[in-house]
Structure 1
Amino acid sequence: MNIRASHREDFKDIARIYAEGLDTGVASFETEIPDWNTWNEKFLPACRYVVETKDKLVVGWCALSAVSKREVYKGVAEVTIYIAEEARGQGVGKALLSHLIKSSEQEGFWTLQAGIFPKNQASLALHKQCGFRVIGIRERPAQRNGKWYDNVLMERRSKQTGIH
């Protein structure tokens, strides 16, 4: 597998993988795939990656979004990571998230956060394997298709960047 920076040309694959995640019902509060401009505005320019198979098939992507526009939080970002259905359980997520963590530290991020549905056991386990810890449960912060869901808030503090 090859992890590389994502480009606009990858958006078709990113959208396909995102749709597969949304179809699980436990990946996001979102229910629709955004267009390129909306997706591009949501995520920071740094630390956008895709993972490809040896046949150049994109099977995963990740990106960071700012948690705040305030200068004091410039080193804190929220992680988004999605793995294609056919590549789940094969170590793709761990490789991609590990790469994202290392790259984020090089870009000056000292805290990464993730909000994960409690039923998404695979994502919770992946984040724990990569050094995230549960810092709380947001009780029913939002609805998905008219139903309220809790959200597990996880965090990873860098041991390389910022105060540790």
Structure 2
Amino acid sequence: MAQQLILVTGAARCGKSEWAESLAIASDRAVTYIATATVDPADPEWQARIDRHQQRRPATWQTMATVEDLAQQIEGAEPTQCLLIDSLGTWVANLLDRSDVEWEKIAQALLAVLPTSRGTIIMVAEETGWGVVPAYPSGRLFRDRLGMLTRQIGSISSTVYLVTGGHVLNLSQLGQKLDR
């Protein structure tokens, strides 16, 4: 696997993370798992989800956590590394309290560093907006920010996969990129 940017997207609980993990293993590179979730001791169900993800990962993988500085984590990647970022949706949720100006600056920093990375990057992103418009402003803000960021990352990715219904579709082979 040459240096590249791979986007794995799909609905909740569809197998996105497992597919991304299999791609990371196939890269034959040293894998660094970048977790965007924050641990909440008051939420045992959330901790159980985190534990399931951790149990699937090979012991040889390094794990790093980030709440905001995703661009900085990517910037330091070595050519021999594969960064697996799981997930973009959680990262966006971490930053919902940021103003539109702050958010735009953070998102643009991420978009600027992705094409220049020397390592292979695999990003997991949740699909949103396939149902009703969220009834609350924070839900609409999340949907809009994640949807736009996923689209922008997809447009610069070498490969985009959609995981749904227990199947993986290579959208880069089946589909066509939208004009920017």
Q: Scaled by the length of structure 1, what TM-score is found?
A: 0.35
Structure 1 or 2: larger strand share? Answer: 1
Relative to its length, the structure with more helix (as a share) is 2
Structure of higher RCO (CA pairs closer than 8 Å, 6+ residues apart):
2
